[in-house]
Structure 1
């Protein structure tokens, strides 16, 4: 069997397994990549360069920055302020969803939900209602906004890597409103739906402040990274390396700050790091690289162009 055929067979099998065994996706991706290397379908050098290191740098860097940002308790602190100042409970829930969405546009979605969820549970407990609808609203807001910017979610990073889109391209692409505005339009409409669901909760209430901000430094690092990425769009128009480098620099600064300031254990941060998604992305890059090297991408593109 030729290397070209082997690459396609392994890719198809891996893809099918991803669908049916989603919880084992990382293991499947690693095994598939290992089989490609062992069968010499793709060389070690080709596998290395098949990985988009710019995207990996963005993903790893933003994960580290997001970790210390969440650990600073700033998001939870802001959520409590919103609840205390909202005119009623319905608006408090809406504003919490909006805050979660805003945070998720720049950090990992699951982390944003986990940090805000306790506020929702505290609200539900005081109102003596089922918190399910609140958590679903928060999760939807988070998931939707993750696609709004380059650093919000891995799919956005993959899109940027393929289409050579920089940070500002998510706002304006070829002088036209881009993905960000489409996402915000969807978010705007979703708030009417959420308001309809929670409209009955007119109670005015206050939560007992529980959160204290550990440090504002992580927020400064995150804001500085966003500004740096925006400016880098004017220099690295081909999305080749600068975004990944900036994110890794921000991650390095975060780790140094955490170590020097004794704001937590680096070992515990490494244990909590999302190794699962990181290794999955690397494996997928190698899988795609193998069928690209084998010429299958061109074959599929030609077939689809004939149909379309």
Structure 2
């Protein structure tokens, strides 16, 4: 049995177990990653390549940990999560939502504004955290109106999932895409002189706001929620420094790369965000007078599971690529599409929506990004169009079902606790419609800009 089929069976088994046992997924990906490294050491040069033509068992180990695992992405994720947690602690997002309610001409418009703000916060804050900070505002407003909160909570989840795609720091899939496509922070806005993925996603946001305006337009009365005082503006300032600092690093990278060693330069964005996060934790401890236990709780409650999950996936995908399976799959798709760029675009988009509605989009996008690159090469064109289609389909497709994204699961849990359990069919009616509308709008703009 060829080694590539062993790797394929291992990967398929890993994905199947991740799907069935979501709460244990980090164990399966970690074990699969370790097994791939062991196989790479037993069969040096076959899976992870060789160092300057010299086959080495040690190279398999160092390549897996030093090259395949993208430490820059992981540092950005940990740092951004920390800053986001402090941002939510500061009560600034809740204060902004209160202000939106106060200026809106009707409750229906206020709800749409809160949903739009949820999306905007989610550009920089992890989706589940965004839903959790906005949920009390939504529930308070619904109780005042004696209104079923289900639609509002669904809106919070799907809008947060939508906008998590827009920037490099929005969600893990965007960070992974940036690592594979070699995109910096600014490339998400303008790339090769064209409007990039940020503006494509904003088309979906606009379509989503119109959708929910139609849903809530019947709410004409004016209402308000109880305002919460802001604890501090420092985390918001830290968030802004992170955003503009990443943008500045993107602009300065060509010049800095001439004077800074390549190894450090490749980690510059991650180091910058980690340093800002460390400053934030020191502020939380000293300025907010938090003891060691409270600081440890803040750090411990970050999404560390995703970090280790990503590390395992990085190695497994590297092994799949190393034995040539991704190239073979890409060639199959090129043959299936008959050389048609449009058919390839539609196939990647549609398949991504369907799969991401049921499967975690992180491992899916990690496998498929190299395939999208190979498809672009096979069709004699750049890979950006196909990679963008993959990113849009896999991230927006998570809105399709109640378990397509973690934010959806959290939203369902909240409405269930409020006494409004939600069925799969009811979610599909709202989430399915939202997914079709927002994805179609984004896909049209994406095709017009990048085809």
TM-score range normalised by the length of the shorter chain = over 0.9
Runs ≥4 residues deviating over 6 A: none
Alignment of 1:202 onto 2:228: no
Compare 85-94 and 160-169 and name the one that shifted more.
85-94
Are the counterparts in 2 of residues 100 and 142 from structure 1 also a CA contact under 8 Å?
A: yes
- Of 252, 264, 273, which residue of structure 2 is paired with 1:247? 273
1:1-308, aligned counterparts within 5 Å? 3-39=3-39, 40=41, 43-49=60-66, 50-209=68-227, 211-236=228-253, 240-262=266-288, 264=290, 265-307=294-336, 308=339
Are the counterparts in 2 of residues 89 and 204 from structure 1 also a CA contact under 8 Å?
A: yes
CA distance in 1, matches of 2:269, 2:88: 22
CA distance in 2, matches of 1:93, 1:298: 47
Are the counterparts in 1 of residues 82 and 299 from structure 2 also a CA contact under 8 Å?
A: no
Deviation at 1:107, TM superposition (A): 1.1
CA distance in 2, matches of 1:243, 1:295: 31
CA distance in 2, matches of 1:34, 1:242: 28
Are the counterparts in 1 of residues 123 and 170 from structure 2 also a CA contact under 8 Å?
A: yes
What RMSD over aligned residues (CA atoms) do the two structures have, in Å? Answer: 2.0
Deviation at 1:68, TM superposition (A): 0.7
CA distance in 2, matches of 1:277, 1:159: 16
CA distance in 2, matches of 1:101, 1:57: 23
The runs of 5 or more residues in structure 2 that have no matched partner are 43-47, 49-59, 258-264, 340-451
Deviation at 1:154, TM superposition (A): 0.5
Q: Deviations over 1:79-101 (max 9, x none)?
A: 11211222211111011111111
Deviation at 1:244, TM superposition (A): 1.4
CA distance in 2, matches of 1:103, 1:204: 24
CA distance in 1, matches of 2:287, 2:234: 11
CA distance in 2, matches of 1:119, 1:190: 20
Deviation at 1:261, TM superposition (A): 1.6
CA distance in 2, matches of 1:304, 1:284: 23
CA distance in 1, matches of 2:334, 2:144: 58
CA distance in 2, matches of 1:108, 1:18: 21
Q: What TM-score comes out, normalization by structure 2 length?
A: 0.64
Compare 137-146 and 257-266 and name the one that shifted more.
257-266
* Higher RCO (Cα < 8 Å, 6 or more apart): 1
Deviation at 1:263, TM superposition (A): 5.0
Q: Secondary structure at the match of 2:124?
A: coil
CA distance in 1, matches of 2:6, 2:252: 40
CA distance in 2, matches of 1:287, 1:228: 32
CA distance in 1, matches of 2:116, 2:92: 15
The runs of 5 or more residues in structure 1 that have no matched partner are none
Q: Deviations over 1:249-302 (max 9, x none)?
A: 211111121222235422101221101111111110011122233343344444
Are the counterparts in 2 of residues 166 and 236 from structure 1 also a CA contact under 8 Å?
A: no
Deviation at 1:155, TM superposition (A): 0.5
CA distance in 2, matches of 1:257, 1:131: 36
User: Cα 1:222–1:263, aligned 2, differ >3 Å: closer, same or farther?
Assistant: farther
